[in-house]
Chains A and B, each alone.
Chain A
Amino acid sequence: MGLLITQPKGAAQRLKDGVGAALIALVLGVPMLGLATADVGGALAVITRWPLLAGFVGVVFVGRLFFQWLIDIFSLRKKRREQARPAVAKSRPWLTWIGFAALGLAVMLPIAFSGNRYVIDTATTVLIYVMLGWGLNVVVGLAGLLDLGYVAFYAVGAYSYGLLSTHFGWGFWQTLPVAGLLAASFGLLLGWPTLRLRGDYLAIVTLGFGEIIRLILLNWTEFSGGPNGVNSIPRPTFFGLPFKPDSDDGATFASFFHLEYSPDHRVTFLYYLILALALLTNLFVSRLRKLPVGLAWEAVREDELACKAMGINVTNIKLSAFAIGAMLGGFAGVFFAARQGFISPESFVFSESATILAIVVLGGMGSQLGVVIAALLLVVLPELGRDFSEYRMFLFGAAMILIMVWRPGGIIAKREPTLRLGAAA
């Protein structure tokens, strides 16, 4: 299947390819379309449908030609772009402007859509994935360690808040750092024995770790509530002011600010909360990327052996990437638990890890803005596709394939240098 060909084909080759596809369609089509069974006077008889078959083969032929032509155009354009690429890495200020524009939109969103709970809820989900994507970006995008069990750290964060708040009455802000540290230590725990593994092997071990955490949460009923999960997790308060209808026991957010109570207040507050957390994450990660440790993460991704020859302790660098990625996942988990009010192992299945990984890969490994765009796509596309009911996932998959054909390195594939001699002078 020449889906991801990079070399443009000529017209003759395209024709040949189309004929080949049509032949395959013919062979497959004879039993599937050309022949059919029908009820003829009470007996089963085979009837032929040659016009239908001819139409099918024709559609395959033309479709394949068109598809190849599209791919040719794309690869030609890409070649031209690559040739035009200057040797010296240029800075791209427009990327920064897109970032600021996106931030402006994110801040304005609850005001523009005030009262529309669905939009704000979806935007909150997008932001959770953005934050998770930024966390995993440290591990996969920067340090180049394939982690298929990232959701385990998300679960550690969520259950930390769920259990500490319901059993010991801890608040959201109290739990946040503790859960982050806990998730980071789980990251170290996983990383210590496994980071000497490379590539595929590390991926398998992290996949196993993710499943272990989920299975423990599912089966250790006394600790985690098992499949019933943790219920009635307290919601975060606005500096001690709860979001609930006016009552006699103490001030609420609405009564304190003399507002009419509305459930939208909490939704909006949660939205801004995750926006702030995500922005902090972004600030933290982009700052780290410019520090020696961030540079070393990328160097380890590029060439581990060369790092050793430069005197870099590769194990420590990988561990720090793992721990920081895990910590950010833990933070996101705390927010998730506080937003849902209910958590169960159902929320931390492998497909979540896969989605977060897809966000990082689709966005372009290491790109912060790419993660935002990819998270938006991955959350909003299935939402938009609701009208197509069962074809939803099909459309979603097709969109992913098209994006990867169009931009094999991710939406924002080009890496921005962390420092320049010109700027540093």
Chain B
Amino acid sequence: MSALNPHDPASPLLLEVENLTMRFGGLTALDNLSLQVPAGKVTSIIGPNGAGKTTFFNCLTGFYKPTEGSVRMHHPQRGPMLLNQMPSYHVARKAGVVRTFQNIRLFPNMTVLENLMVAQHNALQHASRFSLAGLLGLKDYRQAREAALEKARTWLTRLNLLDRADTVTGNLSYGTQRRIEIARALCVDPLLLCLDEPAAGLNPRESAELNELLLYLSREHGKGILLIEHDMSVVMRVSDHICVLNFGHKIAEGSPQHIQQDPHVIKAYLGEEDKDTEEAAA
């Protein structure tokens, strides 16, 4: 099925989803889904509305407990761990799987910089010795704080947000908020970054910048990227591997070129009979 070689040293296997099933009462949102996500590559999940894409993310990141199946993260240092048995905050803290949300979830009354500092909470809280060293202003804590600020500054610079650092996030435009959410996720130091429709509401120039950012993160930083996206200009340009869902089933998987020609995918997106629109889908 998968063209992936898990032992490829350039892109080692990061996430392994096996037979994942999620049922809500009588509704099967995900049906026996299996998927492999490597490091250093962009893996996209596409499909019509209601196909189960966001449900899949919720199962990965501990927000839902899957009915059946397993989600295994191969952490390079800490070894394999089962995400479907962890509380959601452990998924980010221990396994290094960090997500963004389809409907932006920033901390709207806090500044951009504060948002990025909250993302580094665990490291800072540890350095502040659960606030004791922080209350006294000890050197260890001050150094950790400086390092956290530096990391925030790095990502702010990379995402062109530096001049917005002290702005209250709720006042910023939609596209900027999307970038902040990605910057905030990056401040958690994820191994696997799960982006839920990051291009929604972006203008063409902003989408192009997003493409470039996704390629930079996967190629230069070796991060695994799992992408849910409707914007095909993003999906087809950056994806190394695409998985197509429809009604909770995986209907196709493969390279962008392969997916564009897959009859099941065309059928799912455009219906059956109309042969003329095949070109438009591609």
Known A-B contacts A291-B134, A310-B119; the reply to A420 vs B113 at CB < 8 A is: yes
- Asked if A205 is at the interface of the complex by the 8 Å CB criterion, the answer is no
Q: Contact: B109 with A309, CB < 8 Å?
A: no
Docked complex Cα distance between A287 and B114 (Å): 16
Q: Contact: A302 with B101, CB < 8 Å?
A: no
- Asked if A15 is at the interface of the complex by the 8 Å CB criterion, the answer is no
Q: Contact: A309 with B61, CB < 8 Å?
A: yes
Q: How many A-B residue pairs have CB under 8 A?
A: 132
Docked complex Cα distance between A72 and B185 (Å): 44
Q: Contact: B125 with A421, CB < 8 Å?
A: no
Closest to B123 in A: A292
Q: Contact: A311 with B89, CB < 8 Å?
A: yes
Q: Contact: A417 with B88, CB < 8 Å?
A: no
Q: Contact: B106 with A303, CB < 8 Å?
A: yes
- Asked if A308 is at the interface of the complex by the 8 Å CB criterion, the answer is yes
Q: Contact: A421 with B149, CB < 8 Å?
A: yes
Q: Contact: A89 with B167, CB < 8 Å?
A: yes
Contacts of B135 in A (CB 8 A): 284, 287-288, 291
- Asked if B158 is at the interface of the complex by the 8 Å CB criterion, the answer is no
Interface string of A389-425 (1 = CB under 8 A from B): 0000000000000000000000000010111111010
In the complex, which residues 49-108 of chain B have their Cβ closer than 8 Å to any Cβ of chain A? 61-63, 88-93, 98-101, 105-108
Contacts of A292 in B (CB 8 A): 117, 120-121, 124-125, 128, 131, 134
Docked complex Cα distance between A23 and B118 (Å): 56
- Asked if A299 is at the interface of the complex by the 8 Å CB criterion, the answer is yes
- Asked if B236 is at the interface of the complex by the 8 Å CB criterion, the answer is no
In the complex, which residues 271-314 of chain A have their Cβ closer than 8 Å to any Cβ of chain B? 284, 287-288, 291-293, 295-296, 298-299, 302-303, 305-314
Contacts of A422 in B (CB 8 A): 165-166
Docked complex Cα distance between A373 and B107 (Å): 27
Closest to B119 in A: A310
- Asked if A88 is at the interface of the complex by the 8 Å CB criterion, the answer is yes
Contacts of B63 in A (CB 8 A): 305, 308
Q: Within the complex, what minimum Cβ distance (angstroms) separates B196 from chain A? A: 10
Taking a contact as CB atoms closer than 8 A, the residue among A87, A291, A417 that contacts B114 in the complex is: A417
Q: Contact: B99 with A299, CB < 8 Å?
A: no
Interface string of A57-99 (1 = CB under 8 A from B): 0000000000000000000000000000001110000000000
- Asked if B168 is at the interface of the complex by the 8 Å CB criterion, the answer is yes
Known A-B contacts A303-B107, A309-B88, A312-B121; the reply to A87 vs B171 at CB < 8 A is: yes
Q: What are 29 residue pairs bridging A and B, where the CB atoms are less than 8 Å apart in the complex?
A: A88-B166, A287-B134, A292-B121, A293-B128, A295-B118, A298-B109, A298-B110, A299-B118, A302-B106, A302-B108, A303-B106, A305-B105, A306-B101, A306-B107, A307-B89, A307-B118, A309-B88, A309-B98, A309-B185, A310-B98, A310-B118, A310-B184, A311-B93, A312-B122, A313-B89, A417-B110, A419-B113, A420-B113, A422-B166
List residues of B whose CB falls within 8 A of some A CB: 61-63, 88-93, 98-101, 105-111, 113-114, 117-122, 124-125, 128, 130-131, 134-135, 149, 152-153, 156, 162, 165-168, 171-172, 184-185, 188
